[in-house]
Amino acid sequence: MAQVPWEEACARVRDDDGLPCREVGAWSEDKLFVWHSYIQTTSTSMVGKPQWAAGLFYVDLFGGPGVCQVKNSTRRLPGSPLIAAMAAKPFKHIFVVDSDQRNAVACEQRLAKVGAKDRATVFTGDSNKIVNEIARRIPKGALTLALVDPEGLDVDFETLRTLSSAGRVDLLILFADAYDALRNLDAFVSGDDKRLDRMLGARSDWRKRLGELPNWEPNNLREFFSRQYIETLKNELGYAAADTKIIRGPHGPLYRLVYASKHPRGLDFWQKVDARDRHGQKGLFS
Ligand SMILES: C[S@@+](CC[C@H](N)C(=O)[O-])C[C@H]1O[C@@H](n2cnc3c(N)ncnc32)[C@H](O)[C@@H]1O
């Protein structure tokens, strides 16, 4: 099956279907375009490969309603679960979680409309709890692509541990370094807010290391947290390769996408993705 170009994927959700949408800033299109490109490339190459006898699976822990509406514009974009449903070669199963029931219902209805009803399960609830059920349902011998796309620091490291226990699970995680970690740093350092501790994991000694960091410029701090996170993914969960891309808004960096694969070759697909931006220009992230 041929790869679906990004504009065609957007055209499929162009008409108002009366269901709730997620309102997003224009920069969200960069994130969604990256995920779309990665899924198109990976599904094209991996579905049907003998080493993945159980097939290709998709997990979306913060799925949203399935369609995004760009603020102050008429542009509508497929949300991550619909991007997965439009993979060049279909996933064997798509698991989506959203804590908001309206989003979960809208997502389920939209997945049905694009023909994915029988190969999708949408859960309403906290993904940090539902992850156990999802990990149980992923068979041995599967290749799983998982998107972890919270609004802030809402995913616990233990959630990733559970998910990654399901075998070869490659991850794309939104790490809200600029607009959450740095903005609320005082509360995270004092321990009044525990979300950063939960996100970086109980065994991370980030506080001690932060105390040793000589330069607390925002760029340095963001790099510091990114290094801590990747180191823990590698040391504790056996991720072999990782890379990050910074997503910028009109006033500078907003957040970082952390890609991690259990196999060094996983990076090959990922690096192809940032070779061109959605206008066909080189170097989306340079
Ligand atoms: C940034 S949005 C996800 C956007 C989505 N990936 C897309 O492409 O449209 C985060 C979503 O996570 C949901 N959410 C927030 N906390 C959650 C939790 N603990 N578990 C599951 N979903 C959660 C929100 O309702 C929201 O729809």
In a domain, 180, yes or no: yes
**How many independent structural domains does the chain possess?**
1
Q: Determine, yes or no, domain membership for 279.
A: no
Closest approach atom of ligand 1 to CA 62: 12
Cβ–Cβ < 8 Å for 240, 232: no
pLDDT at 286 over 50: no
Domain presence at residue 27: yes
Domain-embedded: residue 282: no
The pLDDT assigned to 277 comes to 67
List pLDDT tens digits, range 222-235. Answer: 999 999 999 999 99
Residue of minimum CA distance from atom 18 in ligand 1: 126
Does the residue 126 lie in any domain? yes
**Residue 271 vs residues 160, 171, 278: alpha-carbon distances, Å:** 23, 14, 15
Range of the domain at 40: 6-273
64 vs 46, higher pLDDT:
64
In a domain? residue 225: yes
208 CA to centre of ligand 1 in angstroms: 31
CATH code of the domain covering residue 146: 3.40.50.150
Residue nearest to atom 19 of ligand 1 (CA): 126
Ligand 1 pocket, Cβ-based, cut-off 6 angstroms = 22, 32, 62-64, 68, 79-80, 97-100, 103, 126-128, 149-151, 154
pLDDT at 180 over 90: no
The DSSP call for residue 117 is G
> Is 267 part of any domain?
yes
**Dist. CA 63 → ligand 1 center (Å):** 5
CA-nearest residue for atom 16, ligand 1, is 99
- Confidence band (pLDDT; 50, 70, 90) for 279? low
